Amino acid sequence: MIRSFLLYIDPGSGSYLIQVIIAAVLGAAFFFKNLWWKFRSFFIKPKKKSSEENDPNTP
Partner 1 sequence: MIQTRPDGPVWSGYSRDPSGFMFKLNDQYYRQVNQIYAGNYDLLLSSGLYHELSQKKMLIRHEDVSGSVPGTPGYYKTLLPQQLPFISYPYEWSPSQLRDAGLLTLRITRMAMEKGMILKDATPFNVQFLEGRPLFIDTLSFMTYDSSQPWIAYRQFCECFLFPLYLHHYLGTGIHRLLAAWPEGIPAIHAARMLPGRSRLNAGAWMHLFLQTKIRTDNLPGGRRPSFSSGHLQRLLIHLENILQRLSTGNFSDKGWSGYYTDSILSQSYLADKERCFLELIDQLPITSALDLGANDGYFTRLMAQKNIRVVAVDAEWQCMETLYRSLSGQKPGDILPLCVDIADPTPPGGFAGTEREGFTARARAGLVAALALIHHLVLSRNIPLPALAAYFAQLASQYLIIEFVPLSDKKSQELIRNKDSYHSDYNIENFESCFSRYFQIEKRASIGDTGRVLYRMKKSVCP
Q: Does 34 sit near partner 1 (CB under 8 A)?
A: no
3-class SS letters over 2-13: CCCCCCCCCCCC
Select 51 or 58, whichever has its Cβ closest to partner 1. Answer: 58
Q: Does 22 sit near partner 1 (CB under 8 A)?
A: yes
Select 16 or 49, whichever has its Cβ closest to partner 1. Answer: 16
* CA dihedral of 51, 56, 57, 59, whole degrees rounded to 10: 100
Q: Does 10 sit near partner 1 (CB under 8 A)?
A: yes
* Cα 22 to the center of its chain, rounded Å: 9
Which residues bind to partner 1, rule: CB under 8 A?
A: 1-3, 5-6, 10-27, 30
